[in-house]
Structure 1
Amino acid sequence: MKSKNSRLQTLRMLISSQELCCQDDVLKALAKEGYVVTQATLSRDMKQLKVAKATSLGGKYFYVLPNETMYKRVSSPKSAAEMLLNSGFVSVNFSGNMGVIKTRPGYASSLAYNIDNGGLSSILGTIAGDDTIFIVVKEGARHSDVVEELRNVIPDIK
């Protein structure tokens, strides 16, 4: 029997790497990894990990892991309309076929999701942290072309 810590680590990996929409999807994904658990156990595990549901750009709900910055209180909160005006983008820099996009805290994950799903032909993929996105640029792509493609996803990029 596999340990609970191992199961929780696998659950974290599955939730962060796939768009799992319901507990049945999560149970099936865990079973593929060798963890056969009940729905009640899964619910307790998800509660312990503070798993939440988020919405994709297409309006589909899926599970996400918490981001520490989501729980920090802001002294002067902005309205939703104000927040939607800002993509959170700060800067982009390149070295060879790698790039680093800096964002405001908490914005990297959603921007990386938009980049990965934006059909950008010059970017192979992303890895997001809290305020940093690592991008891999296709061999031979010019940095200026990458920035131009990123404008389709991040309008305030310079």
Structure 2
Amino acid sequence: MYIFASLLYIYTLMTKNNRHKIIKEVLQTSDINSQEMLLKILIEKGFSITQATLSRDINELKIVKVPTAKGSYTYQLPENIQNIQQEELPPLSSFGFLSIEFSGNLAVIKTRPGYAMAIAGEIDNKATQYILGTVAGDDTILLIPRDNVSRNEVLASLSAFIPNIQ
């Protein structure tokens, strides 16, 4: 019984490793914009896989959905995201930003629905000198400036990648 369990475990690992390898190859060679599309390709390649297993694979491989220049989304491996050229993909903030309003030291940014988290990520990565952090919902971002940072400094730092913020 122990030998059978060990062999089953090894087979499962080999199958999973092979499936992960194929998933990576598919994502590097095709534009995949849904789990259903990826699931269909894997089934066509001979894998017996469920949606739940694919979701676990996506989490384990740290695959993320990123916006494209065409306004749609595609699944990407983390190592490929940094390889996307800036010319290919304008900052999300350039077409997702709607408005900013200050209240005391805090600011609230309104975005198109679905853009807040991505824009907050841009702010967290690109404006660290002036912005302590952000909290994002679906279409709203709470922006927390660092101590002693003026509204003009916040706006100037954000205008570097949100062209229509002024």
Q: TM-score, normalised by structure 2?
A: 0.47
